[in-house]
Amino acid sequence: MLTVIGKATSINVRKVLWTCTELGVPFVREEWQESHAALNPNRMVPVLVDDGFVLWESNTICRYLCGRHDGAALLPPDAQARARVSQWMDWQATELNTAWRYAFMALVRGSPAHQEPALIEAGIATWNRHIGLLDAHLGAHGPYVAGRGFSLADIVLGLSVNRWLMTPMVRPDYPHVAAWYACLGERPGFAAWCGNGIA
């Protein structure tokens, strides 16, 4: 049985759980315990344990699951189509996550270390600008992030856009993002792992 370690409120854990749901892969989820530190030197979640094989880094886990469980619909075998999906997954993990981190920690988590007004304002502006890049891309190349079909890129970015929508701040109207996000709502696993009231 596949084991996913990490709390179900974690955005990165939910990437993996949504992917499992799309693939129809049964799993058990365990809360992080100090004993799990031996599995990931970073002491972060998610961690995947698959018949003794241990893997961490959420986007890598999602790609692994597709390779392991006939997930060509989510991660195409064609080199260029696959690279397009990975490009947007990597953008989510590096550029987009970096953009929202300060504002999210201030406005949602209430972190005392993230309360500088100018930095919050700058964080919101940068976050909105990045979602604007996604909106322009969807308008030109949609309906999904990597083209015509739903893919892993939509899972990881869907969760990021859910976080953007749920953060109490001023947001521009991005019609292509809104239409795309509505389409995600029809997917298996969306209600459980994305549109579930958790940022």
Task: With H, G, I as helix, E, B as strand and everything else as coil, classify residue 30.
Answer: strand
Domain, as residue range, for 14: 2-68
- Asked if residue 103 is part of any domain, the answer here is yes
Cβ–Cβ < 8 Å for 15, 161: no
- Asked if residue 45 is part of any domain, the answer here is yes
- Asked if residue 198 is part of any domain, the answer here is no
Based on the domain organization, do 84 and 59 belong to the same domain? Answer: no
Residue 49: CATH number of its domain: 3.40.30.10
Write down which residue in 68, 94, 114 finishes a domain. 68
Based on the domain organization, do 92 and 186 belong to the same domain? Answer: yes
Mind listing the pLDDT tens digit for each residue in 118-147?
A: 999 999 999 999 999 999 999 999 999 999
Based on the domain organization, do 89 and 179 belong to the same domain? Answer: yes
Q: What percent of the chain has pLDDT over 90?
A: 99
Give pTM, 2 decimals: 0.96
Cβ–Cβ < 8 Å for 84, 157: no
- Asked if residue 164 is part of any domain, the answer here is yes
Cβ–Cβ < 8 Å for 180, 83: no
Domain count along the chain: 2
Give the separation between CA 137 and CA 9, rounded to whole angstroms: 29
Mind listing the pLDDT tens digit for each residue in 75-117?
A: 999 999 999 999 999 999 999 999 999 999 999 999 999 999 9
